[in-house]
């Protein structure tokens, strides 16, 4: 699968620490650099028939449709598309006007991931989003009217400007809009963000974990009652409409990430990441140099990551894969560390998969961390 990072946004959200620029001054040079990187690195992806292509960012919908089409055409010089390929574009509601959507339908893009975040203006103002609550709703309807059926929306819960009743209203709106995929995240306070600064200055209250926990479990129950499958801690889908791209990450498959700050993984032990600096990225590729760093994961690193990622999913971690991939020492460690949790029910084994029961999902990262192997490499 292939990921392309578009490092531009109209404005900086208060909670975001992703890599992007609010200036489009060097957009043309950036797109030329990404095109060059596609060619220079196409050999790194062993599978030449793509099942997933994902435009992320940043905000890829700030690009013109012709620019997106140009990148797709460049990809097709080196790869073929599977007949049922999933091609996702992350988009902000304020970019999804009727003309843009009509032109987008003429491309191979067949899935939209819309950064709705909230259906309430107070939340959106706190987050410094560029769209309004009305636009959040109308953009989804316009996308559907334009023929996009495979839609995902992002929602954020546990904001200081929200409460349980508003969260229930947001979920009701999402269901009423017949969106088939929802990614929902607890508001987190990241370093070097405006949100972190406001909390430090006592301008707003920090999110409350108890309220976020209540929001999470209500959401899970409510969406399942309305036909969604809770297939990963933060992700819900109608049957058959799970994100193929993200699922591949969770299953530890190979992927190639292009653009500044993008990460890649060869499916075995090599990971690389591009420089998170637009000008350095452009300058390097102008000289046919890849501005990336590479690391080789130890057995310990691969084991710990496989647990951390896999235990966030409803399916869990395939024990046969663990047994085939890791030493007897690590397998003995896993047996020892899981025994108590299996007895207490915070872990279960079903159909050969080690998994965390959904009732304990809000604590999944801590449960997984308890299983980490900390011995020598």
Lowest mean pLDDT among 33-47, 183-197, 272-286: 183-197
pLDDT interval class at 36 (50, 70, 90): very high
pTM higher than 0.85, yes or no? yes
Supply the pLDDT for residue 362: 86
- Higher-confidence residue of 323 and 22: namely 323
Q: What fold characterizes domain 2-250?
A: TIM Barrel (3.20.20)
Supply the pLDDT for residue 196: 87
Closest-CA residue to 123 (of 169, 89, 91) = 169
Lowest mean pLDDT among 62-71, 87-96, 197-206, 361-370: 197-206
- Higher-confidence residue of 20 and 103: namely 103
pLDDT interval class at 23 (50, 70, 90): confident
Q: Is the pLDDT of residue 4 over 90?
A: yes
Q: Which residues contact 336 (CB under 8 A, 6 or more apart)?
A: none
CA 161 to chain centre: 24
The residue to which tokens 């975001």 are assigned: 16
Lowest mean pLDDT among 156-160, 249-253, 273-277: 249-253
Q: Is the pLDDT of residue 377 over 60?
A: no
- Reduced 3-state DSSP string for 262-285: CEEECCCCEEEEECCCHHHHHHHH
77, 102 Cβ separation under 8 angstroms:
no
317, 307 Cβ separation under 8 angstroms:
yes
Closest-CA residue to 248 (of 61, 52, 16, 34) = 52
CA 18 to chain centre: 12
pLDDT interval class at 376 (50, 70, 90): low
Supply the pLDDT for residue 13: 79
Longest dimension (CA), the chain: 59
Residue 289, judged by CB atoms within 10 A of its CB (0-12, 13-18, 19+), counts as exposed
Indicate the domain borders of the chain.
Answer: 2-250, 299-370
Which tens digits make up the pLDDT trace of 256-311? Answer: 999 999 999 998 889 999 999 999 999 999 999 999 999 999 999 999 999 999 99
CA 166 to chain centre: 24
3 state DSSP class of 221: helix
Supply the pLDDT for residue 20: 66
């Amino acid at each position: 699968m292939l990921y392309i990072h578009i490092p531009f946004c109209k404005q900086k959200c208060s909670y975001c620490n992703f890599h992007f620029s609010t200036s489009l001054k060097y957009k043309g040079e950036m797109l030329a650099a990404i095109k060059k990187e596609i060619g220079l690195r196409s050999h790194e992806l062993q599978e030449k028939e793509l099942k997933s292509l994902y435009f992320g960012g940043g905000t890829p919908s700030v690009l013109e449709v012709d620019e997106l089409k140009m990148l797709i055409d460049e990809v097709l010089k080196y790869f073929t598309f599977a007949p049922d390929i999933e091609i996702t574009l992350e988009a902000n509601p304020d970019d999804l006007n009727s003309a843009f959507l009509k032109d987008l339908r003429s491309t191979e893009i067949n899935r939209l991931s819309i950064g709705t975040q909230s259906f309430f203006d107070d939340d959106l103002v706190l987050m410094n989003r560029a769209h309004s609550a009305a636009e959040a709703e109308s953009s989804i309807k316009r996308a559907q009217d334009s023929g996009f059926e495979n839609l995902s929306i992002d929602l954020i819960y546990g904001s200081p400007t929200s409460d349980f009743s508003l969260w229930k209203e947001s979920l009701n709106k999402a269901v009423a809009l017949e969106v088939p995929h929802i990614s929902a995240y607890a508001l987190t306070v990241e370093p070097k963000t405006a949100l972190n600064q406001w909390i430090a200055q006592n301008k707003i209250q920090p999110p409350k974990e108890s309220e976020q926990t209540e929001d999470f479990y209500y959401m899970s129950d409510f969406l399942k009652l309305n036909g969604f499958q809770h297939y990963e801690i933060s992700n819900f889908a109608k049957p058959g409409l799970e994100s193929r791209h993200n699922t591949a990450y969770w299953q530890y498959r190979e992927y190639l990430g292009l653009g500044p700050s993008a990460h890649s993984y060869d499916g075995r032990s090599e990971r690389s990441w591009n420089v998170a600096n637009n000008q350095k990225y452009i300058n390097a590729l102008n000289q046919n140099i890849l501005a990336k760093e590479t690391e080789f994961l130890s057995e310990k690193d691969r084991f710990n990551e496989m647990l951390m990622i896999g235990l966030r999913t409803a399916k869990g971690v395939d024990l046969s894969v663990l047994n085939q991939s890791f030493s007897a020492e690590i397998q003995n460690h896993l047996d020892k560390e899981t025994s108590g949790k299996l007895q207490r029910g915070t872990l279960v084994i079903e159909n050969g998969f080690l998994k965390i029961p959904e009732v304990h999902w809000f604590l999944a990262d801590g449960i997984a961390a308890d299983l980490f192997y900390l011995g020598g490499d």
